[in-house]
Each structure stands twice: as C-alpha cells, then as structure tokens.
Amino acid sequence: MPTPLNSTVEVKRQAPTPYSFSRPYWEGTREKKILVQYCPRSGQYQFYPRPVSIATGHRDLEWREVSGAGEIFSYTITRRAREPFRGHEPFIVATVTLDVGVNLLANIVECDEDQIRIGMKVEPYWLPLPNGMHLLMFKPKR
Amino acid sequence: MVMRDVAIVGFAETKIVERSAQDVWELGATILETLIDGAGFEKGEIDGMILSSSLTGAGNAFWSQNTAEFLGLQLDFCQTVDIGGCSPLGALARAAMAIDAGMCTTVLLLYADTAVAENNARLRSFGGEWTVPVGLMGPPGAFGLLSRRYEYQYGLDYRALGKLAVTQRNHAILNPNACEKLRIPLTVDGYLTSRMISDPIRLLDSVMPCDGASGLLVTSRARAQGKGLSRWVVPLGYGERTNHNAAQSLVDVTETGHSAAGQRAFAAAGMAPRDIASFYPYDDFIIAIMLQLEMLGFCKRGQGCAFINDMDFTHAGSLPLNTGGGQISAGQAGLAGGGTNLVEAVRQLFGEAGSRQVKNTANALVTGIGGIPLARNWVSSAVMILAPDA
C-alpha cells in the first residue's frame, strides 16, 4: 500500500514578493483568475512572467485570462522537504501543461500515489494565502 | 583553432572536505603555490586571473578584485565567471581567449568555494514566486521532475544508473583527494535502496555539498616552450550553450544544451565521440551523466541506459569515466565543483593519476552543467576536448 499523499493545504505559506512585471499575475489570483502573458507577434503564451516576450524580445505583451485546464507533464513525490513543508511529506510537486501551451509547477491535491500519472487531466484548486492572494494548485479532473 | 596555441602547464587540487576549517582564500593560496612551484613559474609571471563562481564569494560584488589583493597578484585581466557548474570550464575557455587576444600571457584559474562553512549567496531568480511556494526540494526536486519525464518518454533502467554510481565510487576510493566520508564501497543494491529524497531521485543520485578548491595554470604554447617545459595540455575545441531553446514556452526536458555545445567542440577538434579516450562529465545527479552520453552522441537518444550496460567505464575500461570519483563520489566543492572533473582530466593527460591512471591519454572530454531552470532541462552546458601536446 502506498503511503497517502499530503495535500499540503495545511503548510504555513507566505505570499511571494512579485517582481514589477509579475505583479498582475498575483493580483489576478485575488479573484481566482489565472492570468498568463501572451505575445501577439508570435501568438505564444509564456510562463513564468518575464519582462519581455521570450519569443521576440519585444515588450508588447498582453495578460490573458486562461481556464486552467491542464495535464500532468511530470511529477516528483517529495519525501524529504525543507521548512515550512517539513513534516508534511510525502507530497506531489508536478509540472502542469496548461492547454494554452505553458508549463508551471504546482502541488496536486485530492490525488493518491497510485492515481497520479503523466498525461492525467487536472483542473485548478485555489489555496488562500494570508494577504488575500491565492496559490494555484490542481486536482484531478472529475 | 586559436585555442590550440594555449597550454595548461599545471593543475592543483585540495582535498575535498565536509566543512573547511581553512578560509576560502587560504585554499586559494594553496592552489596558487602548488601551481607556480609545480610548473616552475614566479608569481610575478601571472598577469591574468579568472575565478569560478563561489557561493562563499557570491555576496561580494568585488570578488575577483579582493581575491587578487589577498593573493598579492598584479593583473592585466581579472574576472569571475558566473555560469554555475560550467564556470571552471568556461574560465579555461575565457583564459584561452584572453591570451590569444593579447590581454595577458599567463592566467591563474582558481576554483575555490567553502559554501558549507560560509555560504553568502543570495539568489535572485524565479524561485521565490514559483518553486518555494510549492515546496520543490531544490535540485533533487528539479531532477525528480526531469527523471520522471525521461522515464515516461524512454523508460529508465535504474540498475544502469546504479552501475554509474558504483563505478564512480570505486574511483573515489582510489582518489586520496576525494571526501573521506564517501570513500567506502557501494553496490548497485546499495544505490537502489538509498533514501528517497524527491522520488525518483535518491540520496545516492545526488552530490554531497562539500568545501574545496582546484585550479589550473595556463599560458601560451610559445611561453611553455620557451621555459623548456616538457609537457602540457591544450584545448582542442570548446562549446557552450546557455538557455537552450530559450524562445520556446514548452521544451523537451530530456534535451540539453550539450547537443549544441558538443557539436561545436567536436567540430573544432576534428573528432567524433568514438575518438574520445576518456570522459569527464559534470555530475550533479547520476542521470545527468546518462543524458550527456546521449546528447554528445556516444549513443542515441533514449539508449543511454542500454549504452551504460554495454560499457566499461572503469579507469581500466574502454571509456574511462570520472576516474577521480566525479563530484557525486568525491564531494561537490560548491560552485567550484566543476573544477574537480576538469582537473582530473588534466591529471590523467599528464600521466599523474597513479593507481587510477588510464592507458589511453590521447585526449579527454570534459563537460560542465550550470543552473537549474523552471520546467526546462538545465541552464548552461559546456563541452571541452583536451589533449596532451608535448
């Protein structure tokens, strides 16, 4: 029997300090919106937020709200963690590919070790942070 | 290729320790003294110095200048290279460029870090926003994601990875400079049952952070000849790639910049993988060695484990690999750790590796890996081919 996985929702997390160019993403999480940078010249979305289009080097990026539909690209089961995650192992850190073509890292909740697999469809799960922002997590799509 | 007009005339290395009681500049002084005494140079002949990254030095915006002051060096060329584990190899390439450009004639390459005893680094990256909040367990976490994806695309034979771990461990037992704690025998089963950190990355997949220093003395071939030296090592080709596939949002994480860097190094040297006599891949994690075998063209993509199973990588084998134990079994001297396998390659080409000496010293291929990106492979890749020239 695999050990049950920790959802990590009990971990005491602080809201991160954004850069000037990533602040719109974090502000969007206050309303549980996923805002991703879009480059109109190349038609490419990009994540994590950058001060410039990684495709063209131009700065005419747009912020677009996306649905958060995604699938697992890869995952690791963290069995030895640092603070503040210590004592909450084992838990999943996954690379999730959103349907707009970007990869991001997130914890996966409501998911067992024998359930997680690459290619599994996931949907957003929002964890409140102390300052009113939210951390984007994912759960298996039902 | 102008790099061939440059000669590595000496190498030096301290013992790698779990925590250094000596200051990082005292380790540096030991490297300096060993190099000038070994090659028969005066300190005043050194007119260039290039440092690798150093977590001890990382908080200091004047790192190379202050190091030059403490070592009493008057320099016409002075810099730090900050491409992570690629820094030592990158420093050698930059020394060749500086000498060829006439900026200086004789360069001290100093790779010194005491990060366990004194880590002054303050990293400014994507981590605070995107990895810390999800509890990614540092480099083992990133390599856990990489390994799981590789396994999905190609399958992964963990016993083959264990074979690499055992080969390197046996080499470390023969290396008196390897960290003493690691100089104990290891079996494949011992590797496979070591503690899981960030599944599927185990403790024995990973480097152990340590303290230590190494270095090289580089001058022009003409000056080496003029001093009547009997042997030296020359770089035949070099390639470097940072942020491979930077413009793409989704990348194949099993592809590394070594594909591009390796092509450039092989082309400059006029060689192919089958010509390589011994191999010194950067090893922060065991799977990184396998990926480099694929990317450099020793075998096809997805065939790394099968290739490992077919090969004998011992110092007496067909393709000797990290004959000093690699960083994984000798200890990782912080961001100076890229010097460990580089210095071992030079030592082998000088024929001074003692009980672990390789038979074929026609050439050696050394690599670097630097930096962990988000949802990509690694940041920097470097490849250099060296050969004796005397």
Task: Give the phi and the psi of residue B288 in degrees, each rounded to 5.
Answer: -65, -35
Question: Does residue B57 sit in the same domain as residue B174?
Answer: no
pLDDT along chain B (390 residues), means of 10: 85 98 98 98 98 95 97 98 97 97 97 98 94 96 98 98 98 98 98 97 98 98 94 97 98 97 97 98 98 98 98 98 98 97 98 98 98 96 92
Q: Domain ends where: B196, B226, B256? A: B226
Mutate to test the interface with B, among A41, A76, A85 (most CBs of B within 10 A): A76
Mutate to test the interface with A, among B131, B199, B249, B379 (most CBs of A within 10 A): B249
The DSSP letter of residue B102 is T
Which tokens sit at B76?
């016409």
CATH number of the domain residue B143 falls in: 3.40.47.10
Contacts of A99 (CB under 8 A, 6+ apart): A66, A67, A69, A70
CB contact under 8 A, B197 and A79: yes
Angle separating helix axes B63-71 and B24-39, nearest 10 degrees:
60
Question: Does residue B55 sit in the same domain as residue B153?
Answer: no
Which tokens sit at B180?
């003493």
Task: Round to whole Å and give the CA distance between B227 and B390.
Answer: 13
The yes-or-no verdict on residue A60 having pLDDT over 50 is yes
Tell whether B62 is within 8 A of chain A (Cβ). Answer: no
Q: How distant is the alpha carbon of residue A132 from its chain centre? A: 17
Tell me, what's the ipTM? 0.97
Span B205-251, pLDDT tens digits: 999 999 999 999 999 999 999 999 999 999 999 999 999 999 999 99
Question: Does residue B110 sit in the same domain as residue B170?
Answer: no
Does residue B130 form part of some domain?
no
Domains and CATH numbers, chain A: 18-66 (no CATH), 68-142 (2.40.50)
The yes-or-no verdict on residue A2 having pLDDT over 70 is no
pLDDT of residue B4: 81
CB contact under 8 A, B135 and A8: yes
Q: Write out chain A residues lying below 8 Å of B201, CB-based.
A: 76
- Domain of B301 in residue numbering reads as 135-206+234-388
Question: Does residue B264 sit in the same domain as residue B173?
Answer: yes
DSSP codes joined into one string, B187-232: -HHHHHTSPEEEETEEGGGBPPB-BEEEEEEEEEHHHHHHTT-S--
CB contact under 8 A, B130 and A48: yes
Give strand pairing partners of B240: B382
Looking at CA atoms only, how far is residue A22 from chain B in angstroms?
Answer: 9
| Reported pTM | 0.97
Question: Does residue B184 sit in the same domain as residue B298?
Answer: yes
Number of folded domains that form chain B: 2
Peptide bond into A19 cis (omega under 30): no
Mutate to test the interface with B, among A34, A52, A78 (most CBs of B within 10 A): A78
Contacts of B140 (CB under 8 A, 6+ apart): B197, B198, B201, B205, B206, B285
Q: Write out chain B residues lying below 8 Å of A47, CB-based.
A: 249
Question: Does residue B96 sit in the same domain as residue B188?
Answer: no
Alpha-carbon Rg for chain A, nearest whole angstrom, is 16
Question: Does residue B83 sit in the same domain as residue B168?
Answer: no
% of residues, chain A, pLDDT over 90: 96
Question: Does residue B191 sit in the same domain as residue B221?
Answer: no
Question: Does residue B304 sit in the same domain as residue B221?
Answer: no
Interface residues of chain A, partner chain B, Cβ below 8 Å: 8, 11, 13, 16-19, 22, 26, 44-48, 54-55, 73-82, 85, 88, 90-91, 93-95, 97, 101-107, 118, 135
pLDDT of residue B1: 45
Question: Does residue B317 sit in the same domain as residue B188?
Answer: yes
Looking at CA atoms only, how far is residue B199 from chain A in angstroms?
Answer: 5
Q: Domain ends where: B165, B191, B226? A: B226
Q: Are B162 and B192 in contact (CB under 8 A)?
A: yes
3-state helix, strand, coil split of chain B in percent (to 5) is: 40, 20, 40
Question: Across B265-356, where does the E strand assignment appear?
Answer: 279-280
Residue with structure tokens 């010509």? B275
Does residue B128 form part of some domain?
no
Determine which helix (DSSP H) or strand (DSSP E) holds B95, and give its type and residue range. helix B87-100
Span A84-99, pLDDT tens digits: 999 999 999 999 999 9
**At B237, is the secondary structure helix, strand, or coil?**
strand
pLDDT of residue A4: 84
Span A100-123, pLDDT tens digits: 999 999 999 999 999 999 999 999
Q: Are B80 and B95 in contact (CB under 8 A)?
A: no
Task: Round to whole Å and give the CA distance between A127 and A134.
Answer: 5
Looking at CA atoms only, how far is residue B198 from chain A in angstroms?
Answer: 4
Does residue B290 form part of some domain?
yes
Task: Round to whole Å and give the CA distance between B134 and B32.
Answer: 44
